[in-house]
């Protein structure tokens, strides 16, 4: 009798959750382009682990990050709100305050309500702490732990921005209280050498910017001093993050979990572990892509070993398109060879052209998701509404205002996705089916820093992607009516506050 009672009260509900609530692992590369993996047709580089996910899952050809840079993409992905609706969500300095309001619904807090244990490991870049930024020497709040994550192990911003330390559950890891961290983005602080004054101390030189405080032989954006015992070693970063991601999965294996694993690779500075150095033949950028693929493989292997693969949805995607020279002289340009980071697409990171936001995007859930290719138009902004539907959570009226429930498309039950999508770069663009309209922008055609084609034109541009995926023929003059319609739709969405 006692055992029966135990079974009914304890074991059965656990079994039921295990069956109905698959784990969700979202692996998010940084600056990985549409053409950067062999899963998406690259031949100069081999990414076997990402390819395996594609083979065992559904590979999307028209899936998008919400923006062509990091902070707005991540903001939109986690909140379900287009970032251009919210001021202060551009690329953030390393000492920025948290941009997500603790009252906002997030993908993590929604899944937490649904009974998931949630964790984030890797690049954060959404700010930390209150107005004025965090005190690195005390408990940091708000942090990811205040917007829905049970566990966090992060770097605050990017590898090229100070402070170059990890933060685990609101505390800088390994900090010696006798050596407090000070950070300043406006003027030098402390007496550590800078790239500008001491280029002789550099193992990697900047090509633009990145000439402030030197840490680990690399000059960064921003000034810092202190926290010597807590400084990261760039060469070990992928090992550290991957180790933390694997440990999280191992700890949570008995109950449904959501892991947001935000890789640093292949963002600058590209300083892969020595075991990847020289392996791609493409210099540090290619080697960092191999390292990203290794990180993916470790996670997939862990799911296999714990027999969780069948009950785990793995999503692999990237926060924005590719860039070759992003501010360091790291051989990426000279060693690129025939490799096309954006595949057939035009532009790259920062650009209004498709390569800005159209990214690799794979969903694997062995027993449930159809294998193959999907041409559905989907966006990362849709995760919140889709997974809310999936876990039967209701969203309040103002939650996730731009997130659409695209569960059927994400699970491969339909090939139809969004009717329209706003893409964010230096201008806004709107996609309606295979038509794309880019708003006027007087900026330079090609970025002087990155050499990326920005998709700027003083007049609006219209492209028909079904016959011109590379956006080479602006047909705005031939289709003035369509231009008017699409521009009007964008104007309507802008002040509306919502599009779902
Ligand atoms: C730019 C940096 C670039 C990179 C980017 C953010 C310079 C010259 N360029 O301002 O190196 O850090 O910001 O990248 O400083 S992102 O992927 O996080 O959006
Ligand atoms: Ca990025």
Whole-number Å distance, alpha carbon 394 to ligand 2 midpoint, is 31
Q: Is any atom of ligand 1 closer than 6 Å to the C-beta of 31?
A: yes
Domain positions in the chain are 24-174+245-410, 420-493
Contact, 42 vs 35, CB < 8 A?
Answer: yes
Rounded-to-integer distance, Cα 338 and Cα 214, Å: 33
Nearest to 67 by CA among 466, 426, 494, 452: 426
Q: Is any atom of ligand 1 closer than 6 Å to the C-beta of 209?
A: yes
Q: Is any atom of ligand 1 closer than 6 Å to the C-beta of 32?
A: no
Contact, 382 vs 77, CB < 8 A?
Answer: no
Q: Is any atom of ligand 1 closer than 6 Å to the C-beta of 158?
A: yes
pLDDT for 6 equals: 54
Q: Is any atom of ligand 1 closer than 6 Å to the C-beta of 267?
A: yes
Report helix, strand or coil for 259. Answer: strand
Rounded-to-integer distance, Cα 272 and Cα 290, Å: 9
pLDDT tens, the chain, 500 aa long: 455 555 555 554 444 444 469 999 999 999 999 999 999 999 999 999 999 999 999 999 999 999 999 999 999 999 999 999 999 999 999 999 999 999 999 999 999 999 999 999 999 999 999 999 999 999 999 999 999 999 999 999 999 999 999 999 999 999 999 999 999 999 999 999 999 999 999 999 999 999 999 999 999 999 999 999 999 999 999 999 999 999 999 999 999 999 999 999 999 999 999 999 999 999 999 999 999 999 999 999 999 999 999 999 999 999 999 999 999 999 999 999 999 999 999 999 999 999 999 999 999 999 899 999 999 999 999 999 999 999 999 999 999 999 999 999 999 999 999 999 999 999 999 999 999 999 999 999 999 999 999 999 999 999 999 999 999 999 999 999 999 999 999 999 999 899 98
Q: Which residues of 95-114 are buried (b: 16+ CB within 10 A; e: fewer)?
A: bbbbbbeeebbbbbbbbbeb
Q: Is any atom of ligand 1 closer than 6 Å to the C-beta of 69?
A: yes
Q: Which residues surround ligand 2, an ion (CB under 5 A)?
A: 30-31, 70, 319-320
Distances (CA, A) of 246 to 233, 300, 310: 20, 9, 17
Report helix, strand or coil for 485. Answer: helix
Contact, 272 vs 250, CB < 8 A?
Answer: no
Q: Is any atom of ligand 1 closer than 6 Å to the C-beta of 325?
A: no
Q: Is any atom of ligand 1 closer than 6 Å to the C-beta of 265?
A: no
Q: Is any atom of ligand 1 closer than 6 Å to the C-beta of 106?
A: no
Give, for ligand 1, the residue of 158, 159, 222 to mutate: max count of ligand atoms closer than 8 Å to Cβ: 158
Whole-number Å distance, alpha carbon 73 to ligand 2 midpoint, is 8
Q: Which CATH class is domain 24-174+245-410?
A: alpha beta
| Residue of minimum CA distance from atom 9 in ligand 1 | 327
Q: Is any atom of ligand 1 closer than 6 Å to the C-beta of 347?
A: no
Contact, 424 vs 72, CB < 8 A?
Answer: yes
Kindly identify the ligand whose nearest atom is closest to the C-alpha of 220: 1
Query: In 325-464, which residue ranges form alpha helices assigned H by DSSP?
Result: 383-390, 407-410
pLDDT for 4 equals: 54
Within 10 A of 299 (CB to CB), how many other CB atoms are there? Answer: 23
How would you classify the pairing of strands 63-64 and 378-379? parallel
Is the backbone of residue 69 left (phi > 0), alpha (psi -120 to 50) or beta? beta
Q: Facing residues of 364 across strands?
A: 314
| DSSP assignment of 282-312 | S-HHHHHHHHHHHHHHHHHHHHHHTT-GGGE
Q: Is any atom of ligand 1 closer than 6 Å to the C-beta of 90?
A: no
CATH for 420-493, among 3.30.1120.10, 3.40.30.10, 3.40.630.30, 3.90.550.10?
3.30.1120.10
Rounded-to-integer distance, Cα 299 and Cα 305, Å: 10
Kindly identify the ligand whose nearest atom is closest to the C-alpha of 157: 1
Give, for ligand 1, the residue of 65, 67, 69, 127 to mutate: max count of ligand atoms closer than 8 Å to Cβ: 69
Rounded-to-integer distance, Cα 20 and Cα 306, Å: 18
| Residue of minimum CA distance from atom 4 in ligand 1 | 326
Whole-number Å distance, alpha carbon 349 to ligand 1 midpoint, is 10
Atom of ligand 1 nearest to the CA of 267: 17
Angle at which helices 284-305 and 48-56 cross, to 10°: 50
Q: Is any atom of ligand 1 closer than 6 Å to the C-beta of 95?
A: no
pLDDT for 7 equals: 52
pLDDT for 15 equals: 46
Contact, 365 vs 314, CB < 8 A?
Answer: yes
Q: Is any atom of ligand 1 closer than 6 Å to the C-beta of 340?
A: no
Distances (CA, A) of 61 to 17, 31, 75, 403, 425: 33, 17, 23, 20, 20
Within 10 A of 334 (CB to CB), how many other CB atoms are there? Answer: 12
Atom of ligand 1 nearest to the CA of 160: 12
pLDDT for 419 equals: 98
Contact, 494 vs 402, CB < 8 A?
Answer: no
Whole-number Å distance, alpha carbon 326 to ligand 1 midpoint, is 7
Rounded CA Rg of the chain:
22
Strands (E), 388-449: 420-424, 428-432, 435-438
pLDDT for 16 equals: 44
């Amino acid at each position: 009798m006692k055992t029966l009672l135990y079974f009914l009260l304890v074991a059965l509900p656990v079994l039921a959750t295990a069956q109905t609530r698959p784990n969700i692992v979202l692996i998010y590369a940084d600056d990985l382009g549409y053409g950067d993996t062999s899963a998406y047709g690259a031949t100069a580089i081999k990414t076997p682990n990402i390819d395996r996910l594609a083979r065992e899952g559904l590979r999307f050809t028209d899936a998008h990050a919400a923006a062509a840079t990091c902070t707005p993409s991540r903001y939109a992905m986690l909140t379900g709100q287009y970032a251009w609706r919210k001021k202060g969500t551009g690329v953030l300095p390393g000492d920025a305050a948290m941009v997500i309001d603790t009252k906002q619904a997030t993908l993590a807090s929604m899944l937490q309500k649904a009974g998931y244990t949630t964790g984030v490991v890797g690049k954060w870049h959404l700010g930390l702490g209150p107005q004025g930024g965090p005190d690195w020497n005390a408990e940091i709040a708000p942090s990811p732990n205040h917007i829905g994550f049970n566990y966090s192990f992060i770097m605050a911003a990017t590898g090229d921005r100070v402070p170059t330390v990890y933060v685990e559950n609101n505390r800088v890891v390994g900090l010696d209280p006798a050596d407090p961290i000070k950070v300043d983005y406006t003027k030098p602080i402390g007496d550590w050498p800078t790239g500008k004054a001491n280029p002789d101390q550099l193992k990697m030189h900047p090509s633009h910017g990145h000439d402030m405080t030197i840490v680990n032989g690399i000059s960064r954006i921003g000034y810092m001093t202190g926290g010597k015992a807590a400084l990261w070693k760039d060469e070990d970063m992928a090992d550290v993050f991957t180790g933390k991601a694997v440990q999280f999965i191992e700890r949570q294996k008995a109950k449904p979990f959501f892991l947001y694993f935000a890789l640093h690779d292949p963002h600058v500075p590209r300083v892969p572990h020595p075991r990847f150095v020289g392996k791609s033949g493409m210099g540090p950028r290619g080697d960092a892509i191999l390292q990203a693929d290794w990180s993916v493989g470790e996670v997939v292997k862990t799911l296999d070993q714990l027999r969780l693969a069948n009950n785990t949805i793995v999503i692999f995607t990237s926060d924005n398109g590719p860039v070759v020279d992003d501010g360091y002289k790291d051989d990426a340009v000279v060693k690129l060879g025939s490799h096309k980071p954006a595949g057939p697409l035009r532009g790259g990171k920062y650009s209004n052209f498709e390569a800005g936001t159209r990214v690799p995007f794979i969903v694997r859930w062995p027993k449930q998701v159809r294998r193959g290719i999907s041409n559905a138009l989907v966006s990362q902004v849709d995760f919140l509404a889709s997974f809310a539907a999936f876990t039967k959570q209701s969203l309040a009226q103002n939650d996730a205002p731009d997130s659409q429930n695209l569960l059927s498309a994400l699970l491969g039950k339909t090939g139809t996705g969004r009717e329209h999508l706003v893409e964010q770069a230096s201008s806004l663009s709107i996609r309606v089916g295979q038509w794309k309209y880019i708003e006027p922008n007087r900026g330079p055609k090609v970025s002087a820093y990155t050499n990326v084609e920005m998709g700027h034109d003083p007049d609006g541009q219209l492209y028909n992607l079904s016959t011109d995926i590379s956006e080479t023929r602006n047909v705005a003059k031939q289709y003035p009516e369509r231009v008017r319609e699409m521009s009007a739709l964008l104007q309507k969405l802008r002040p509306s506050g919502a599009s779902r």
